[in-house]
Structure 1
Amino acid sequence: MVMDIRLARIDDRLIHGQVATAWSKATGIERILVVSDTVAQDELRKFLLKQAAPPGIKSNVITKRKLIEVYHDQLFDHLRVMLLFEIPQDVLEVVEAGVDIQSINIGGMRFLEGKKMVTNFISLDKSDVQCFLKLADLGIELETRKVPADRKNDLIQLIQKEKMMP
Structure 2
Amino acid sequence: MVMDIRLTRIDDRLIHGQVATVWSKATGIDRILVVSDEVANDELRKFLLKQAAPPGIKSNVVTKRKMVEVYHDHLFDGMKVMLLFASPQDVVEVVKAGVDLKAVNIGGMRFSEGKKMITNFISLDESDVISFRQLEVAGVQLEIRQVPTDRKTDLMQLIKKEKMLQ
Q: TM-score range by the shorter chain?
A: over 0.9
Aligned position for 1:28: 28
- Does residue 63 of the first structure (1) align with residue 63 of the second (2)? yes
Q: Which runs of 4+ in 1 moved over 2 A?
A: none
Aligned position for 1:73: 73
Which amino acid in the other structure matches residue 51 of structure 1? Q
Aligned position for 1:104: 104
Which amino acid in the other structure matches residue 93 of structure 2? E
Aligned position for 2:41: 41
Secondary structure of the structure 1 residue equivalent to 2:107: strand
| Count of residues in correspondence between the two structures | 166
Deviations 1:56-109 (A, max 9, x none): 000000000000011011110000000000000000000000000000000000
Aligned position for 2:146: 146
- Does residue 157 of the first structure (1) align with residue 154 of the second (2)? no
Aligned position for 1:89: 89
Deviations 1:6-32 (A, max 9, x none): 000000000000000100000000000
Aligned position for 1:137: 137
Aligned position for 2:122: 122
- TM (normalized to structure 2)? 0.99
Which amino acid in the other structure matches residue 20 of structure 1? A
Aligned position for 2:19: 19
Q: What residue ranges of structure 1 are gaps of 5+ in the alignment?
A: none
1:115 Cα shift?
0.1
